[in-house]
Every structure is written in C-alpha cells, then in structure tokens.
C-alpha cells in the first residue's frame, strides 16, 4: 500500500509540473494577444491615415480640374 502511495505522489508531482507549464504558456498567449491587439491598433491607424490622404488627393484633383478650366479659358 505504501508503494502505491509513493507512485501516486510521483504522478501528482508530474501533474503539478505540467500545470506549471500550462500556466506559463497561458501567460505567453496573453502576451501575444496583447501584441496582436497593438498591431491591430496600428493597422486601424494606418487605414485612418490612408483615408485622410485619399481625402487630400480628391481635394488636389478638384483643384487640378479647376486649373484646367482656367487653362482652357486662357487658351481660348
């Protein structure tokens, strides 16, 4: 009976080790999720900047069409 108890204590020791490793991997997972949320934040920012620059492009194209209109007038 004492031998079986010893074996059980050994397996419990291994279980506690694997549980320790699990807690470590969970810690790493939470870190990577944090980094992912950060990169997604940067992506949303760059997309916002892109939409802003596209807005500026549409403005400059509007000015170009105006100047072309003036050119046609002066050439006419």
State how many domains the chain has: 1
Examine the pLDDT at 1 and tell me if it is beyond 60: no
Return the HEC string of 20-74.
Answer: HHHHHHHHHHHHHHHHHHHHHHHHHHHHHHHHHHHHHHHHHHHHHHHHHHHHHHH
Burial 6-24 (b: 16+ CB within 10 A, else e): eeeeeeeeeeeeeeeeeee
pLDDT (tens digit, 9 = 90+) per residue, 17-76?
A: 777 777 777 777 777 777 777 777 777 777 777 777 777 777 777 777 777 777 777 776
56 is a domain residue: yes
13 is a domain residue: no
What residue numbers bound the domain in which 54 lies?
Answer: 30-75
**Residue with the two structure tokens 């992912």:** 36
């Amino acid at each position: 009976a004492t031998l079986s108890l010893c074996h059980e204590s050994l397996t419990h020791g291994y279980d506690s080790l694997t549980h320790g490793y699990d807690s470590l991997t969970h810690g790493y997972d939470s870190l990577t999720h944090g980094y992912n949320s950060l990169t997604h934040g940067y992506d949303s920012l760059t997309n916002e900047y892109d939409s802003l620059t596209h807005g500026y492009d549409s403005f400059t194209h509007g000015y170009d069409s105006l100047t072309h209109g003036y050119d046609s007038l002066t050439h006419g």
